[in-house]
Homo-oligomer: A and B are copies of this chain.
Amino acid sequence: MTTDGSPGQGLHSRVLDTLGLAITAGDHRPGSVLRTDEIAERFDASRTVVREVVRVLESMRLVESRRRVGVTVRPTDEWNVYDPRVIVWRLAGTDRPRQLRSLTVLRSAVEPVAAGLAATLATPEQCAELTEAALGMVRTSRGHQLDGYLRHDIAFHRIVLNASGNEMFARLGDVVAAVLTGRTRHEVMFHDPDPAAVTLHVQVAEAVREGDAARAEALTRQIAVGALEELDVLAP
């Protein structure tokens, strides 16, 4: 509720969220048109509010508004798939598996490089936090403490991304959090996390602490490979 693509309270947020979810879920096919008045009536909102919502959807490149024709849904490959709200919508919608795969592949590309940079740029404080997160993962890796494990896992990857010193990487923290959360909440509710993965995280923290960029990168790449393989088993 506090962060990102949260529903919010106002009328605007409600309409935006509902419409965005419907579009990304495919309820309105690319090419189909919506009329502002229709939307206004459907949500019992004024045209003012609907227009503002449309402008935001337009900025996400989900739709295009043209005179005399209406608000047309754009082709999928033109969407701003990096917008946090779009990501949330798509993860909640029908093509969630595809989205999860896309994001995991993106992670597998970005995180190793981020870890390598972090190894040379991380402050002592960040190193301490990273070690703490890794130890937290170890502590919670047994006995169905998936909640706590997830929390430390997210913290770990967020710290690495932040410590990389690259703002573009840092902004992917929310994405990683969404992916990890989604994974936990769907599949592995039964068995504990893979011990090998836990070990790898500890080793990454170690490598970062020692400033060994190559090792941090290689180890993180192994984590990524594991995540991709896990996805291959579970997703179509």
Contact = CB atoms under 8 A, between A and B. Distances in A.
Interface string A96-137: 000000110110111011100100000000000000000000
A12 interface: yes
Contact size range, A? 20 to 34
> What is the interface of chain A mostly: helix, strand, loop, or mixed?
helix
Interface string A118-159: 000000000000000000000000000000000000000000
A114 B110 CA distance: 11
B51 A168 contact: no
Given A55-B56, A109-B114, 9 more contacts: A51-B52, A52-B52, A55-B55, A81-B171, A82-B82, A82-B83, A102-B167, A103-B168, A106-B168
Interface of A: 12, 48, 51-52, 55-56, 59-60, 76-77, 80-85, 102-103, 105-106, 108-110, 112-114, 117, 166-171
29 contacts: A52-B55, A55-B55, A55-B56, A59-B59, A59-B83, A59-B85, A76-B167, A80-B82, A80-B83, A80-B171, A81-B171, A82-B82, A82-B83, A82-B168, A83-B83, A102-B166, A102-B168, A103-B168, A105-B113, A105-B166, A105-B168, A106-B166, A106-B168, A106-B169, A109-B110, A109-B113, A109-B114, A109-B169, A110-B110
